[in-house]
């Protein structure tokens, strides 16, 4: 008996260590991580069949629609105003360094000419053009990194798990028990994306839809890294980092916070880059009633506050069914670009600030330069709790000296007038 137990123990240890071999990122991958961390700002694009209904990307499940009826909308998908060059240019001018496009969302519709299904933009729509390919090409041309969102959840296939969200969809056949075939399908599609479209990062989403089943996720990650070692992998599973992931995602929250309710128990990794995704208005996919856009002031401060945590902002836009980016979103892109062209040096390539968010603002650091971002100060003085030695202080804008006094807890900045504006930046030189 004892012998038997030790043998089973040995075997199970051997099997688990085989399945969970510790992932070692390649040199190219580590370089890509650094570039990603330095880039600080990307644009998320939720665009798919759901855009036609203009009710957001969850409409199929939330509306308890029939899958067969929903699928028919593909025959009306004709984004005649889509212009990859114009999209990428507007995004580049905003100061963003990468885009992340939904290649396939939970409705299962593929936005590229996939060999593994006819439910895709080329085979199922009168438009018939591969928008993913056009965007990949433009990003390369204009120098933006190209990331792809890929959903693990699928609300149409019978080999996808029964789940909270997919069970609401009506008119489907029951689960056929065959995750194996779905797993193969996903891996085939991923291989296609990696080899044909030169993807810089994969952004997974959907594992929260069904906990406690074996997604074989580490096997999938290993497969991806075997095909393209430098491709970064992130997953919006709302869990702590899983072996094989190259960056960590936080949904609608700053790393370490849980105001939106998705990040409970999501410990913050200190080895990989971090990214917070957030909407520009309220919904991810285009929703006609959703016109509550966040102000440029809010978005700039949000970006800087995320940088203070050492993380990136992935800011979402839901393109319209006609293929245009909403005018309001274009305005925000333009204004963020104007701000970043002036002050981007205090954001790009920075690491977390020495002082975390305060009522008055945040900080970011680049080498021996510490940037004090003042959003809201009522007085002409600002006490900064610092353990480093400050040798110089001046305004970032016009390099005018700012008086400061050393004291026990750090320094006190002294201004002639109360700082104002979106972000009043003081640069400190530290030792």
Q: Are 403 and 414 in contact (CB under 8 A)?
A: yes
Q: How far is the CB of 171 from ligand JFZ (least distance, A)?
A: 21
Handedness of CA 219, 137, 344, 358 (dihedral sign): negative
Give the DSSP letter string of 171-215: SPPPP-S-HHHHHHHHHHHHHHHHHHS--SEEEEE-GGGS-SS--
CB-neighbour burial class of residue 172 (10 A; exposed 0-12, middle 13-18, buried 19+): middle
Q: In the complex, what is the shortest distance from the CB of residue 316 to ligand JFZ, in angstroms, rounded to a whole number?
A: 7
First to last CA, the chain: 65
155 binds ligand JFZ per the rule CB under 6 A: no
Options 284, 339, 360, 396; binder of ligand JFZ; rule CB under 6 A? 284
Q: Report the nearest approach of ligand JFZ to the CB of residue 42 (Å).
A: 13
Decide if residue 208 touches ligand JFZ (CB under 6 A): yes
* Binder of ligand JFZ out of 60, 277, 307, 315 (CB under 6 A): 277
Binder among 55, 125, 163, 236 for ligand JFZ (CB under 6 A): 236
Neighbours of 1 (CB within 10 A): 5
205 binds ligand JFZ (CB under 6 A): yes
Task: Determine the size of the site formed for ligand JFZ (CB under 6 A).
Answer: 8
Question: Under the criterion CB under 6 A, does residue 249 sit at the interface with ligand JFZ?
Answer: no
- A 10 A CB-CB count for 258 gives 15
Tokens of 209: 């839809």
Which of 24, 80, 31, 73 is closest to 53 using CA atoms? 73
Choose between 209 and 427: whose C-beta lies nearer to ligand JFZ.
209
Q: Is 423 in the site for ligand JFZ (CB under 6 A)?
A: no
| Residue 286 found at the interface with ligand JFZ (CB under 6 A) | no
Can you name the residues that pair with 314 across neighbouring β-strands? 42, 277
Show contacts with ligand JFZ in window 46-75 (CB under 6 A).
57-58
| Residue 204 contacts ligand JFZ per CB under 6 A | no
Q: Is residue 312 involved in binding ligand JFZ (CB under 6 A)? A: no
Cα 408 from Cα 271, distance rounded (Å): 33
Are the C-beta atoms of 396 and 343 separated by less than 8 Å? yes
- Residue 107, interface with ligand JFZ (CB under 6 A)? no
Question: Considering beta carbons, is residue 236 or 363 the nearer one to ligand JFZ?
Answer: 236
* Cβ nearer to ligand JFZ, comparing 321 with 337: 321
Residues that bind ligand JFZ (CB under 6 A): 57-58, 205, 208, 236, 251, 277, 284
């Amino acid at each position: 008996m004892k012998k038997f137990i030790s043998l089973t123990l040995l075997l199970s240890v051997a099997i688990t260590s085989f399945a969970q071999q510790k992932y070692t990122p390649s040199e190219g991958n580590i370089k890509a991580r650094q570039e990603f961390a330095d880039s600080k700002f990307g644009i998320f694009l939720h665009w798919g069949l759901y855009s036609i209904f203009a009710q957001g990307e969850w409409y199929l499940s939330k509306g308890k629609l029939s899958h067969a009826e929903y699928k028919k909308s593909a025959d009306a998908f004709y984004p005649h105003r889509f212009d990859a060059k114009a999209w990428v240019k507007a995004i580049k001018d905003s100061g963003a360094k990468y885009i992340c496009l939904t290649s396939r969302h939970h409705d299962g519709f593929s936005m590229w000419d996939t060999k593994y299904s006819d439910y895709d933009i080329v085979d199922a729509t009168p438009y018939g053009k591969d928008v993913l390919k056009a965007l990949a090409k433009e990003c390369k041309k204009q120098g933006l990194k190209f990331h792809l969102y890929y959903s693990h959840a699928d609300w149409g296939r019978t080999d996808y798990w029964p789940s909270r969200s997919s069970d609401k969809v009506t008119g489907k056949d029951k689960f056929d028990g065959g995750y194996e075939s779905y797993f193969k399908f996903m891996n085939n599609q991923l291989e296609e994306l990696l080899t044909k479209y030169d993807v810089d990062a994969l952004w997974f989403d959907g594992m929260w839809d069904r906990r406690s089943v074996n997604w074989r996720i580490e096997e999938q990650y290993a497969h991806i890294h075997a095909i393209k070692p430098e491709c970064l992998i992130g997953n919006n599973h709302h869990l702590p980092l899983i072996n094989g992931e190259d960056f960590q995602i936080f949904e609608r929250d700053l790393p370490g916070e849980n105001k939106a309710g998705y990040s409970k128990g999501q410990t913050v990794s200190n080895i990989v880059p971090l990214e917070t995704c957030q909407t520009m208005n309220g919904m991810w996919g285009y929703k006609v009633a959703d016109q509550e856009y966040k102000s440029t002031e809010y978005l700039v401060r949000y970006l800087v506050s995320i940088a203070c945590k050492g993380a990136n902002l992935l800011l979402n836009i839901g393109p319209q069914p006609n293929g245009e980016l909403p005018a309001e979103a274009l305005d925000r892109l333009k204004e963020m670009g104007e701000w970043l062209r002036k002050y981007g040096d205090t954001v790009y390539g920075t690491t977390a600030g020495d002082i975390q968010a305060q009522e008055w603002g945040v900080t970011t650091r680049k080498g021996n330069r510490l940037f004090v971002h003042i959003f809201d100060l009522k007085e002409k003085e600002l006490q900064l709790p610092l353990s480093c030695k400050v040798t110089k202080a001046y305004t970032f804008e016009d390099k005018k000296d700012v008086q400061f006094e050393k004291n026990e807890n750090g320094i006190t900045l002294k201004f002639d007038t109360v700082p104002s504006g979106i972000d009043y930046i003081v640069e400190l030189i530290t030792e």
